[in-house]
């Protein structure tokens, strides 16, 4: 077992364990923190696949921005074990059914993948490097990329305008 | 000649001759970890005494002068005191998160050491997105602060953590944009490429006015990101006792303190790398003799000199400006710094395309 495999196994175990803890933790703050741990271990997997840019963007966007926003809201609302509302049994059933169907679709999709002929490019693939990603974004996907960047810019301008109103 | 890269290369050669590759990597990781911890402790001691001496100098007093020559061992004595103090955990606190938060702060600060080039060819991990890595990991700092603030079960702590969160998240934008302007000029996110591109002159000189604007925005934004005065609302003593670390004592408090100082060092190192050429010596055009003399100064001295100069500038801020109010702080970012840095990024892009820089 070389060092890449050891790291892969550690990362996988951490990712699965923390993903499980996200849904089993009673306290919402703990859930968010476990989710951050999950994102970090997934970023570790990206780095093993030599997709360093994806790994870092995963950390910036999810762990850095979105999860901080989640933490903010949960801490401000002070959600605790005691204040958690009792959910209706029908709602729980609906949740189980929809989650189960998603699992079914995922399993059905993954069953058809050809695992034998696909090899993970460890430490050598360069698809995830920023240069190739940038070329792809600005040649094949120019229009969607520009539209989404205009959307982000308008969101930023909107925040400034709302702030200036007072 | 004696150099950091020479030492690291000879250690690597000796290890790879003696052990098999896996064991070599593990041993090298351990050595790097120990070196980072050592640097950490050293930086903490040096920066605390430096801050106290700088503040004393600005306020025309002597500063610490009892322990050691001119009080130079004061921070060592303080560390000893903090080590033997009792680390209290409040009864109402969330035990796990309360005790975990200082360590997360430390780990984040340690991770940030990875892409910094301390000397010529002396870097832990020269990854191809080094600059982006730094801004990603430094945004993790806010999680430890939020954890500490929430777990303390104290309204001052929670208020401090919330303020610090709002502050770090918003100032990250203009810090990121000013970093991007140098990335646009260089065309690479790799730290070693950025330093190489400044071999014939640092970006702050080559990049005309836009680079200077980017430098000023960067310094303001990182001062806010590291929660230092005049942006230290997260621990505004007069309103929040001590902000997010109100309930911390002993070594756990010291870890937060240490993490703050190491973060200051790291952002200054990044600033020195991006704008002041990292370990590149100072060269003036065609003055061959002058340039030759400058080349004789070791690269590590150049790097630490520039970094400590920027640290001095940030300390200078602290002892010069009064603290901002929270609304003034957010106004400064969203109404002034962010628009300025966005326009500035456009200017830099135009400059890079038209090749107006040297």
Write the DSSP string, B269-308: HHHHHHHS-TTPPP--TT-HHHHHHHHTS-HHHHHHHHHH
Does the CB of B111 have a partner CB in chain A at under 8 Å?
no
Range among A1-5, A55-59, B136-140, B309-313 with highest mean pLDDT value? B309-313
Chain position carrying tokens 């271990």: A41
Strands (E), B161-292: none
pLDDT digits (tens, 9 = 90+) for B195-232: 888 877 787 777 778 888 889 999 988 888 887 778 77
pLDDT for position A24: 86
Residues of A in contact with B22 (CB under 8 A): 2-3
A98 part of a folded domain? no
Q: Which residue has the tokens 């100069």?
A: B309
Asked if residues A121 and A48 have their Cβ atoms less than 8 Å apart, the reply is no
pLDDT for B333 beyond 80: yes
Say if A88 falls within a structural domain: no
Q: Which residue of B has its CA nearest to A63?
A: B140
Q: Which residue of A has its CA nearest to B149?
A: A75
With 60 as the cut, is the pLDDT of residue A78 above it? yes
Write out the residue range of the structural domain in which residue A158 sits.
129-166
At A15, which CATH number? Answer: 1.20.120.1200
CB B129 within 8 A of CB B168: no
| Average pLDDT of the segment spanning B323-331 | 80
Query: Quick one: CA dihedral B139, B141, B147, B153, positive or negative?
Result: negative
Residue pairs between chains A and B whose CB atoms are closer than 8 Å = 78
CA distance B269 to B56: 24
Find residue B123's DSSP bridge partners: B117
pLDDT digits (tens, 9 = 90+) for B233-282: 767 667 777 777 777 877 888 888 888 888 889 889 888 888 888 788 87
Instruction: Give the chain A residue nearest B190 (alpha carbons).
Output: A130
- Exposed/middle/buried for residue A68 (C-beta within 10 Å: 0-12, 13-18, 19+): buried
Q: Are A28 and A34 in contact (CB under 8 A)?
A: no
Q: Does A107 touch chain B (CB under 8 A)?
A: no
In this structure, the answer to whether residues A68 and A3 fall within a common structural domain is yes
How confident is the model at residue A116, as a pLDDT?
64
Question: In this predicted structure, which of A53-57, A151-155, B64-68, B285-289 has the lowest mean pLDDT?
Answer: B285-289
Position A14 in a domain: yes
Grade residue A79 by pLDDT with cuts at 50, 70 and 90: low
Asked whether residue A76 falls in the same domain as residue A17, the answer is: yes
What average pLDDT is seen over chain B?
83
A42, A59, A81: which is the final residue of a domain? Answer: A81
Among residues A21, A53, A81, the one where a domain terminates is A81
A33 in reach of chain B (CB within 8 A): yes
**Which of A2-16, A92-106, B100-114 reaches the highest mean pLDDT?**
A92-106
Q: B19 exposed, middle or buried (CB, 10 Å; 0-12, 13-18, 19+)?
A: middle
Q: How many domains does chain A have?
A: 2
pLDDT over 60 at A81, yes or no: no
- ipTM exceeding the 0.90 mark: no
Q: Shortest CA distance to B100 belongs to which of B141, B137, B147?
A: B147
Closest Cβ opposite residue A64 in set B136, B158, B338 = B136
Chain A nearest CA to B146, separation (Å): 8
Supply the pTM of this predicted model.
0.84
Comparing CA positions, the residue from B142, B69, B64 lying closest to residue B104 is: B142
Calculate how close chain B gets to A28, using CA atoms only, in Å: 12
Q: Judge whether A39 lies within some domain.
A: yes
Mutate to test the interface with A, among B164, B333, B334, B345 (most CBs of A within 10 A): B334
Listed in order, strand segments (DSSP E) in chain B are 117-119, 122-123
User: Between B150, B334, B338, which is nearest A75 by CB?
Assistant: B150
Question: Quick check: A130 and B128 CB within 8 A?
Answer: yes
Residue A140 located in a structural domain = yes
Per-residue pLDDT of A104-149, as tens digits, reads: 999 988 887 766 666 666 656 666 677 778 888 888 888 998 999 8
Residue A159 placed within a domain: yes
Across the interface, of A30, A36, A130, the residue whose CB is closest to B143 is: A36
Mean pLDDT (chain A) is: 81
- Distance from the Cα of B11 to chain A's closest Cα (Å) equals 20
Alpha-carbon distance B136 to nearest alpha carbon in chain A (angstroms): 5
Encoded tokens for B158: 């929670």
Q: Searching chain A, which residue's CA lies closest to the CA of residue B140?
A: A64
User: B314 pairs with which residues across the strands?
Assistant: none
Residue A89 lies in a domain: no
Would you call B150 an interface residue with chain A, using a CB distance cutoff of 8 Å?
Answer: yes
Residues 6+ apart with CB under 8 A from A70: A32, A35
Q: CB of B135 within 8 Å of any CB in chain A?
A: yes
* A contact residues 67-106, partner B, Cβ 8 Å cutoff: 67-68, 71-72, 75-76
CA–CA separation, B157 and B234 (whole Å): 9
Look at residue A70 and tell me if it is in a domain: yes
For residue B5, the distance in angstroms to the closest alpha carbon of chain A comes to 24
B162 with A159: Cβ contact below 8 A: no
Do A76 and A138 reside in the same domain of the chain? Answer: no
Q: Does A53 touch chain B (CB under 8 A)?
A: yes
pLDDT exceeds cutoff 80 at B342: yes
Distance from CA of B52 to the nearest CA of A (A): 33
Last residue of a domain, one of A48, A63, A81: A81
Cβ atoms within 10 Å of B57's Cβ, excluding its own: 13
Conformation bin of residue B208: beta by default, left when phi > 0, alpha when psi is -120 to 50? left
Tell me which residues of chain B, numbers 339 to 358, contact chain A at a CB-CB cutoff of 8 Å. Answer: 339
pLDDT recorded at residue A104:
92
Cis peptide before B61 (omega within 30 of 0): no
């Amino acid at each position: 077992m070389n060092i890449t495999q050891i790291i892969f196994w550690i990362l996988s175990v951490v990712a699965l364990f923390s993903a499980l803890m996200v849904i089993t933790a009673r306290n919402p703050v703990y859930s968010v923190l476990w989710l951050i741990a999950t994102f970090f271990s997934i970023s570790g997997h990206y780095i093993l696949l030599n997709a360093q840019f994806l790994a870092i963007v995963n950390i910036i966007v999810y762990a850095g921005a979105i999860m901080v926003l989640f933490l903010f809201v949960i801490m401000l609302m002070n959600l605790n074990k005691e204040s958690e509302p009792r959910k209706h049994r029908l709602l729980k059933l609906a949740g189980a059914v929809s989650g189960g169907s998603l699992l079914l679709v995922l399993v059905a999709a993954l069953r058809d993948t050809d695992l034998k002929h696909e090899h993970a490019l460890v430490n050598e693939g360069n698809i995830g490097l920023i240069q190739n990603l940038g070329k792809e974004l600005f040649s094949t996907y120019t229009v969607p990329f520009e539209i989404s960047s205009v959307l982000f810019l308008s969101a930023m301008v909107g925040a400034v305008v709302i702030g200036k109103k007072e | 000649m004696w150099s950091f890269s020479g030492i690291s290369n000879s250690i690597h050669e000796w290890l790879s001759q003696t052990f098999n590759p896996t064991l070599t990597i593990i041993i090298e990781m351990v050595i790097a970890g120990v070196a980072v911890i050592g640097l950490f402790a050293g930086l903490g001691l040096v920066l605390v005494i430096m801050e106290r001496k700088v503040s004393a100098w600005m306020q025309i007093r002597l500063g610490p002068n009892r322990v050691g020559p001119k009080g130079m061992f004061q921070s060592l004595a303080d560390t000893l005191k903090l080590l033997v103090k009792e680390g209290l955990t409040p009864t109402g606190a969330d035990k796990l998160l309360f005790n975990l938060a200082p360590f997360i702060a430390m780990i984040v600060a340690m991770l940030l050491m990875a892409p910094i080039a301390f000397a010529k060819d002396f870097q832990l991990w020269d990854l191809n997105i080094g600059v982006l890595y730094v801004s990603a990991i430094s945004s993790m700092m806010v999680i430890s602060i939020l954890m500490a603030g929430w777990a303390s079960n104290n309204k001052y702590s929670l208020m401090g953590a919330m303020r610090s969160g709002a502050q770090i998240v918003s100032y990250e934008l203009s810090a990121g944009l000013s970093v991007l302007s140098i990335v646009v000029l260089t065309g690479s996110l790799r730290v070693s490429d950025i330093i190489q591109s400044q071999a014939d002159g640092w970006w702050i000189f080559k990049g005309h006015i836009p680079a200077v604007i980017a430098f000023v925005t960067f310094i303001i934004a990182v001062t806010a990101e590291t929660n230092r005065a005049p942006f230290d609302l997260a621990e505004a003593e007069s309103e929040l006792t001590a902000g997010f670390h109100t309930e911390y004592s002993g070594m756990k408090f010291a870890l937060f303190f240490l993490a703050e100082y190491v973060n200051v060092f790291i952002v200054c190192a990044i600033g020195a790398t991006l704008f002041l050429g990292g370990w590149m010596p100072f060269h003036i055009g065609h003055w061959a003799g002058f340039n030759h003399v400058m080349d004789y100064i070791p690269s590590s001295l150049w790097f630490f000199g520039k970094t400590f100069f920027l640290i001095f500038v940030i300390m200078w801020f602290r002892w010069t400006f009064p603290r901002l109010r929270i609304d003034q702080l957010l106004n400064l970012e969203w109404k002034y710094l962010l628009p300025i840095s966005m326009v500035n990024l456009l200017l830099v892009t135009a400059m890079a395309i038209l090749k107006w820089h040297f």
